[in-house]
Amino acid sequence: MFIYIVEFAQSNQMKDKIKNELNKGENISIINLVSYLIEHSRVIGASDIHIDPTETAVKVRLRIDGVLHDGFSFPKQIDSEVISRIKVLSGLRTDEHQMAQDGRFRALFQDAEPVDIRVSIAPAYHGENAVLRLLSDRAEKLDLEGLGFSEGDREKINKAIQKPYGMILATGPTGSGKTTTLYTLIKSLNSKENSIITIEDPVEYAIDDIRQIQVNSRTGLTFANGLRSILRQDPNVIMVGEIRDIETASIAVNTALTGHLLLSTIHTSDAATTLPRLLDMKIEPYLIASTINLAIGQRLVRKICQNCKTERNITDAEKLSIESALKIEPTNIYKNIFYGKGCDSCSGSGFKGRVVIAEVIDVDNDIRDAILRKASATEIKKIAMKNGMISMTEEGLRKVVKGETTIEEILRVVHE
């Protein structure tokens, strides 16, 4: 791993430094420009830097709290130099321009925590496109409550991870926080009594005392092959980054059946769809019913910025939708809801930070019976809600009532 030391103090004026550097013309320093861009992204809390070449310029966009924002525009003439600088930092081939490359480096800051940066470079029509993912140590510092899980959901999850075997699956689209949730669970299970091994693509957070394996397709180390090897390493707990195919699903289920606690992610729209999805992967219903302990469906919603949080009157339509979703009687307990006006702290967006909204299915006897008869996701969801599950939409609206987020944000993320 390349170590990259940013030799200047943290500053909220990085944006001006970038603009000043771009105005230097032929005297521009590519090293400083990339440095300032990374520092600015860290200061404002961006998770990704997108460097996208166009026909006449290079557009830089920053993903903040899950939403892409316009950042800067670089002259087309320095496109190749910027990409080359990123390649050098990441240990990638600077003479390769027609093949996708992945790398990684660490940025060390004065008076701030270091940040690991994952780099993906791919050839595009107007030049090479680069995406830099800034990996913070957020998972190391948070617990389930800090992530935003409700008290009821935390009880279900904590009960499930205490079982010596079975599967816990986190589900949701890309960017919904599944990996962070699994790392949080792994952190809570990390003790001298447990042997924990993970296989990931890629390894996002390094955790002490846990053996972490990265998938490598060039050497044949896939999720399926890696999982077979892990079983010979005497683990108690296994984390598989993602169940992508039938082979991985089959080995994962058999691993959980033979006395291991296995945590993984799978791409489905909600928690209830997870179970029929495994049926689609040719897993027998009795195996699903006997191995799945918990299915966690989740999304990330932006939190209202605390510096510019403002009350507003709740409309009759909003009040009716909240009362209907939360199944409560009309009440005057909440006369107002909140929004963010926008300020310097949140870059004018009105939001700062994100929080989980989740639905957690505890696979009980009723759910197992539904799985055995190959019930639809809709039926499984109805049974789960009858037995106490709170849907993502309902959980989101509860956070609206508490003043943590907005109705518009819930509708944007959940699409219901």
| Secondary structure (3-state) at 346 | coil
| Secondary structure (3-state) at 73 | strand
Of the candidates 299, 337, 310, 309, which has an alpha carbon nearest to the alpha carbon of residue 321? 337
Q: What global pTM score does this model have? A: 0.84
Tens of pLDDT, residue by residue, the chain (416 residues)? 333 333 333 335 667 778 777 777 777 889 889 988 998 898 888 999 999 999 999 999 999 998 999 888 889 989 999 999 999 999 999 999 999 999 999 888 777 778 889 999 999 999 999 999 998 765 556 789 989 999 999 999 999 999 999 999 999 988 898 989 999 999 999 988 899 999 998 888 878 889 999 988 788 898 999 899 998 999 999 999 999 899 999 999 999 998 899 999 999 989 999 999 999 999 999 999 999 999 999 999 999 999 999 988 888 777 777 777 666 655 555 567 899 999 888 888 899 999 999 999 999 999 999 999 999 999 999 999 999 999 998 899 889 888 999 988 988 888 64
Longest dimension (CA), the chain: 71
Rounded to 5 degrees, what are φ and ψ at 72?
-135, 170
Distance CA 322, CA 330 (A): 10
Rounded to 5 degrees, what are φ and ψ at 211?
-85, 115
| Secondary structure (3-state) at 307 | coil
In tens, the pLDDT along 123-160 reads: 999 999 999 999 876 555 678 998 999 999 999 999 99
